[in-house]
Amino acid sequence: MPTMPRGRIIRGAGSGEKMSVRGLLLLLSMAFVAIWLGSLIPDALPGRADLVIGNGTDPGSLHPHRATGIAEGRVILALHEGLLLLDPATLEPLPGCAVSWTVSADGTLWRFQLQPQLAWSDGSPLDASDFRRSWLDLLDPTQGAPYGDLLEIVVGARQWRRGQGSRQQVQIRTEGSNTLVVELIHPAPWFPYLCAQTPLQPVHISSRGTAGVDVPTNGPWKLQQWRLRDRIRLIPNPNYRGPARPALEIIDFLAAESGNTMLNLFVAGMSDWAVRVPAAAIPVLRSDPDWSSKWRADPYLAISFYRLNLERPPLDDVAVRRALSLSIDRMQLCQDVLGGDPEPAHGFVPWAPAAMERQ
């Protein structure tokens, strides 16, 4: 396109530069090493995937109890399925592995009825006991799961995580093979939303502390290959019995470190979705008629903030902190620094676009 030529996106050395003999030898050595490393890869990836996503950095983990990043979460949502799902348009809870659920009159006792004949990707049966074990593993204080506190509203969970109780005292139990019963310490209308989050997805017993190609999962996709600094390849899970079975054959999640890389891959036709682009490119993407139809900015339920030491003057004075907060032009930061359509944040809980009103 005329306003964003590929040469301006991908920069390289000028053709007039000269290379020394030492530089040439270094380049040849690097090429040899690259060829040698390539020979160590046993399985070549066949062809282009049906959907290629410039996903971000390599995931630190694909284990639902260990992952903390958004890029990891995108892959995990394809590999695993929780009791409930969230409607992509309204964010309302929908049936997932559970076909129905009820709550007691006082709002503390929840019953989830699972689909019959659920299975892991290896064909082994999945039932309510898998959810119970997975949730207890998430709470286990010896595991150090970063989001274990999500379940501290369960009776006995907080005490166990703080070394004052036991696994047996946590009120997560099964009734038969297809019913999961959870007792909360107080009413929690948001509990169905928690049940759709990745840390509460079931984890196969063989994947405690790890996740890889050989670990069974229960989502619509399963992991075929994970090549570090390259891609994660998913193929359909033949044992998935959920509502939305894959219509595609292959999905690739590319390891792209920056927005520039993601945009370059997209412009070159090597990816179908760049999840992030550099802020400087956004005005061009919006204004160019060839690209404006491909640009979309979706709400993102996250905030950015700085941690400050409040124990030393003058930041130990709440009036000083309030004055500093009021002096920051958040809107200008959003428009001129971040780009896109971020909304100024005035608290730690972002506003959900699907909510009826701001709280």
Answer yes or no: is pLDDT of 54 > 60: yes
Answer yes or no: is pLDDT of 208 > 70: no
How many CB atoms neighbour CB 198 within 10 A?
A: 20
* Cα separation, 45 vs 47, whole angstroms: 6
Residues 6+ away with beta carbon under 8 Å from 281: 4, 259, 263
How many CB atoms neighbour CB 289 within 10 A?
A: 8
What residue type is 333 in one-letter code? Answer: L
Half-sphere exposure of 330 (CA within 13 A, CB side): 13
Per the document, the length of the chain is 359
Do residues 163 and 114 touch, judged by C-beta distance below 8 A?
A: no
> Helix or strand or coil: residue 284?
helix
> Tokens 């006995």 label which residue?
156
Task: Summarize pLDDT for 16-48 with one digit per residue, the tens.
Answer: 334 443 443 344 344 433 443 443 444 555 689
CA distances from 184 to 95, 99, 297 (A): 21, 21, 37
Domains of the chain in start order, with CATH, are: 70-207 (3.90.76.10), 297-359 (no CATH)
Do residues 195 and 83 touch, judged by C-beta distance below 8 A?
A: yes
| pLDDT value at residue 354 | 52
Answer yes or no: is pLDDT of 5 > 70: no
Do residues 27 and 13 touch, judged by C-beta distance below 8 A?
A: no
* Cα separation, 172 vs 184, whole angstroms: 9
> Helix or strand or coil: residue 273?
strand
Alpha-carbon Rg of the chain, whole angstroms? 24
Task: Summarize pLDDT for 139-168 with one digit per residue, the tens.
Answer: 999 999 999 999 999 999 999 999 999 999
Query: Among 14-28, 50-64, 80-94, whose mean pLDDT is lowest?
Result: 14-28
pTM: 0.79
pLDDT band at 210 (very low <50, low <70, confident <90, very high): low
